[in-house]
Amino acid sequence: ERLLLSVLPRHVAMELKAEINDKKEDIDVPQDYSQKKMTTRIHITKATLQYLHGDYEVEPGFGGDRNTYLKENNIETFLVLGCSQKRKDEKAAMAKSAMMQRVRANSTEGLMPRWGPDTRFSRTKDSKVFRHMEALNPEDEVDEFLGRAIDARSIDQLRKDHFSKKVDDRFGGYVACALLVFCFICLIQIIIFPHTPLMLGFYITIFIILVSILFICAIYSCVKLFPVALQTVTKKIVQSRTNSTLLTCDREGLVDCVGRERNLSSSLVTLCLLHNLTQSAQDGLTLCPSQPTPCHFPEYFCYSVLLTLLACSVFLHISSIGKLALMVLILVTFLLLVEWPQVALFDNADLLLTANTLFNETATKTCQESVTKVSLKVMTPVILTVFVLALYLHAQQVESIARLDFLWKLQATEEKEEMEELRGYNRRLLHNILPKDVAAHFLTRERRNDELYYQSCECVAVMFASISNFSEFYVELEANNEGVECLRLLNEIIADFDEIISEDKFRQLEKIKTIGSTYMAASGLNDSTYDREGRSHILALADYAMRLKEQMKYINEHSFNNFQMKIGLNMGPVVAGVIGARKPQYDIWGNTVNVASRMDSTGVPDCIQVTTDLYHVLVDKGYHLDHRGLVKVKGKGEMTTYFLTSGPNGP
């Protein structure tokens, strides 16, 4: 921006960048009152305070202590400290509303219109970037930033649908963790509980399902190594939040089935330790049946369910409500099984604990004190319920952090796009003032005021094209708005020239400047445009000169004018550079430039005059030129010149 402000006049740069200086109103204040106001404070009366409606914080001003008029009339005064919190909130809300109304594109090119010669400087105020910049002063920009922070933390934004559509990239890792939990559950049940064919079937089924899901995630991660059909299926599963959640719920249900393996429970429980002890029990309870049955420990069922609930919390991108519903389903199913049809599991475990205590204790009093007073069928639901609530709170916290992280990333992306948008616009504008290689030189390093940028060019073609009779056309009358309409037409003509030079066939050309109604251009100023062997950059400038003649004829036909154009061409070595600490100007110097200017000034209207050196180059390439003869040139004496009439393919 500093370079842009140094290149353009300040009033033009300010019009392009932003109108940030608000007009200040002159307010007449009584002399005796304005002299008594406090330094760096705003001194107001109570009547003024009533119109502020509490938008500003104030403190007593004690104006009567410093002014006799205020004291005699008992006028109460106050000192303004700053905006109140309500006023700050209103500003933040207004900034938030303005920000939400702006429509952002996904790319810089979509946001930024292509700069072309047909884009007038006066039209830049219509662009989206400058409309926004004109609407915000620095204070409003701060308010907008704070508004974005408030917006990112609002409840409505946390429930945006775009978060739920985000792809869960860690789904494969979640499944791997669930598979690890499943292996621990299997290990517990293999060690503790007796083996049955039904248990083995559960193990194999769940293991196959989990490995299949993990394989699907691996296909999604290494998509190019698998067939297209598998790629399509895996993308539909992993990239869809709904599908991946359904697979998660299905896996959790299967793991819970292992934890509730019914083959391990029985309504008839053997309490081998109570065989020779006197202990009261229900009539339907058989302590030592005829056929031996292994003893069971329901605590391990509870442990398996806890591991299953932990596996639910591994899936971070599932919503907290979804996790709660899944965990409640697991909890209710387990409690219905163990509290109703398999309630004997807990009763027998309590009896086992009591029997073990009676067997090891010698005193009845000591036994009663050591026996657990809360049964397992009461303690287990409480433990599982508290565990579910803890996991739900954890899920809520994780979801809130994930949503905030998503919104902050989205905000950072939008701010980065805006910054790139403004940077791209500044770069485009700068490239229309300086050549691209010169602009890149100044953008990549800090320039000192006394630093000189220059470049010696071996063979450059230079053109001067002037509208010879424009001074006769320009008059300042009331009918043409004191000459403004004449300048408007000249601007249209120069813009047409700029549009032609921006064509791809003339990419080797560089516009240097305009001086009044004279247009100056050159070719071959850098390595990318200089053609040492083919001299294509010289031919391109000759073609451009002929295009300008055709364009001027077209303008005369449609504007009912009779503008006459004189064009002068020359070639040779020049020195290009940028001079000036403020408003630096890119220009070229040398004898070649002076002679090209003389070819223009001594030329004939509607003709292209060239020097002898340029004549030899163009003739060798098939261009048609007419001999003019000797022309007296200021500072050079007499020179032989030629008129360029047509290209190698004729008129």
CATH class of 31-102: alpha beta
Structure confidence by residue, pLDDT tens digits, 154-188: 545 444 555 555 556 666 677 777 778 778 877 77
Q: What is the DSSP letter of 114?
A: P
Structure confidence by residue, pLDDT tens digits, 130-148: 455 445 555 666 566 555 5
Judged by average pLDDT, the poorest of 16-20, 120-124, 361-365, 512-516 is 120-124
463 beta partners: 521, 569
Distance, CA of 279 to CA of 355 (rounded, Å): 8
CATH class of 450-646: alpha beta
The pLDDT assigned to 128 comes to: 46
Judged by average pLDDT, the poorest of 87-91, 481-485, 560-564, 606-610 is 87-91
Distance, CA of 316 to CA of 171 (rounded, Å): 9
Q: What is the DSSP letter of 529?
A: T
The pLDDT assigned to 650 comes to: 65
What is the average pLDDT value for the chain, to the nearest integer? Answer: 72
The pLDDT assigned to 360 comes to: 63
- Residue 283, token pair as written in the block: 């009539």
Marked catalytic residue, from 91, 96, 323, 598? 598
- Between 371 and 303, name the one with better pLDDT: 303
Range 189-192, long-range pairs (CB < 8 A, 24+ positions): 189/258, 189/261, 189/264, 189/300, 189/304, 192/297, 192/300
Annotated catalytic residue 566? no
**3-state SS string for 201-246:** HHHHHHHHHHHHHHHHHHHHHCHHHCCHHHHHHHHHHHCCHHHHHH
Residue range(s) in the chain whose domain bears CATH number 3.30.70.1230: 31-102, 450-646
Candidates 337, 355, 371, 348; CA nearest to 289 is 348
Candidates 546, 549, 539; CA nearest to 622 is 539
Marked catalytic residue, from 10, 102, 166, 634? 634
Q: What is the average per-residue pLDDT within 108-123?
A: 40
Q: Is the whole-model pTM more than 0.85?
A: no
579 beta partners: 585
Q: Residue 484: is its pLDDT beyond 70?
A: yes
